[in-house]
Amino acid sequence: MEGPFADARWTGEDNEASHERNELQRRQDANPVFRQTLGYSVTTKTRRTQRADGFAGLDLVIGLIMSNTAALKSLVENWVMDVQRRGAELYAENQAEEMIYFSFEGKDQIRFSLRIDFDLQELSVQINSPEMPGTIREDLLLNQENLRVLAKRMCPVPEGKAMISVYLLARLAILCHAYQRLLAEYDREHHIHTSTNTVQEIEAELRQCLTPEEQQRTENPFLKPKPKTE
């Protein structure tokens, strides 16, 4: 037997353990940043006297890989939600084993095709635009900083902001207005005073994004003060 795992024959490793070690070595060889990102390397030879320690180390390596993959999947999930609320349109998504593909349309009608490989921790991007003569291709390390930079290229609005519909703005303004009216009526009936300064500030900010006609729609006729009965 040749190759880095030739000693597996005489250490008594079973086929499954040998396969796992070969798989880890393949990932490391395929991705130079694999070892740097996770902070460890794959041991390619096991001595008979270190067999127990070797299996324990293998379990640790596999556990770290699984933990890191879970963290990357969570990072990507949050990133997809963020770019959508910032105006990038997701029009295709496909999943395979430890891979996921996205197609977005970003600002200026630029299309971004993404392939994310969680095993190799790679982010492959293809960028197409009617104004571009060809396709731009980039292969990046899958991490938070590269996703942040990509989102900046894709999204019409900057980080920390979101694009929402006027309809939703108007409904939020109605809720703020309704809360203040109901609370004022409650205060009059119980002869108390409750501060609504925070709600007033929120409503004022919402109204800055609405036209005068849209603001009039926030005056809910069902919340007008009831006439006092004698």
pLDDT value, residue 37: 39
Q: In this structure, are residues 20 and 61 in contact, taking their beta carbons and an 8 Å threshold?
A: no
Q: What is the pLDDT of residue 26?
A: 58
Residues composing the chain: 230
Inter-residue long-range contacts of 153-157, CB under 8 Å, 24+ positions, other chains counted: 153/106, 153/112, 154/83, 154/88, 154/104, 154/106, 154/107, 154/110, 154/112, 155/83, 155/86, 155/87, 155/88, 155/106, 155/107, 156/86, 156/87, 156/88, 156/106, 156/107, 157/86, 157/87
The region of weakest confidence among 24-28, 59-63, 98-102, 225-229 is 225-229
Stretch among 2-11, 122-131, 206-215 having the lowest mean pLDDT = 2-11
Q: Which residues have a Cβ under 8 Å from the Cβ of 136 and sit 6 or more positions away?
A: 125, 126, 127, 128
pLDDT in tens, 119-154: 999 999 999 988 888 899 999 999 999 999 999 999
Whole-Å CA distances, 45 to 20, 168, 173: 13, 61, 67
The reported pLDDT for the residue numbered 146 is 95
Query: Which 3-state string (H, E, C) describes 35-71?
Result: HHHHCCCCCCCCCHHHHHHHHHHHHHHHHHHHHHHHH
Q: How confident is the model at residue 59 (pLDDT cuts 50, 70, 90)?
A: low
Quote the tokens at residue 173. 């303004």
Return the domain boundaries, the chain.
8-74, 88-154, 166-223
Range with the poorest average pLDDT among 24-38, 87-101, 121-135? 24-38
pLDDT tens digits, 13-24: 445 545 555 655
Is residue 114 within 8 A of residue 127, CB to CB? The reply is no
Q: What local confidence, expressed as pLDDT, does residue 33 receive?
A: 42
Would you say residue 98 has pLDDT above 60?
yes
Please say if the pLDDT value at position 100 is more than 70.
Answer: yes
Q: What is the mean pLDDT of residues 164-169?
A: 85
- Is the pLDDT confidence value at 57 over 90? no
d(CA 113, CA 105): 9
Q: What confidence score (pLDDT) does residue 168 get?
A: 86
Is the pLDDT reported for residue 11 higher than 80? no
Query: Hey, what are 78's tokens?
Result: 């949050």
